Amino acid sequence: MTLDDRLAAVAARVFRCDPAQITRDLAIGDLPEWDSLGQLLLLTEVEREFGVRFDGEQLVNLSNLALIRNKLTGKP
C-alpha cells in the first residue's frame, strides 16, 4: 500500500466516508466532518498510523492532505 493509499484510508476512517471522496487536495472544511475537532482526530490518527509526532503549530497548519503528505515525506 502506498503512502497516498494509507493516508486516504486514515482520512476515510476518521471522516467516515467513502475512500473515493479522499483526494490529495482535500482540505479542512471540504467535508462536514473535517472541522477543528476533525483536524485533531485526523492528525492523531496520522501520528498513530505513521509513527510520527506533530507539534502544536503543525496541528494547526497541516490543513490539507497535500501538506500532511509533504510533512510525512520530508518535503517543505
Q: Are 72 and 42 in contact (CB under 8 A)?
A: no
The CATH number linked to 50 is 1.10.1200.10
How many domains are contained in the chain?
A: 1
**Cα–Cα distance for residue pair 51/20, rounded to 1 Å:** 25
**Which of 18 and 76 is assigned the larger pLDDT?**
18
Q: Would you state the pLDDT for residue 1?
A: 87
Q: Would you state the pLDDT for residue 57?
A: 94
Mean pLDDT of the residues in the chain: 95
Q: Would you state the pLDDT for residue 75?
A: 84
**Cα–Cα distance for residue pair 21/24, rounded to 1 Å:** 10
Domain that holds residue 35: 3-73
Task: Give the position of cell 494547526.
Answer: 60
**Cα–Cα distance for residue pair 46/53, rounded to 1 Å:** 9
- pTM higher than 0.85 for the full model? yes
Q: Would you state the pLDDT for residue 19?
A: 87
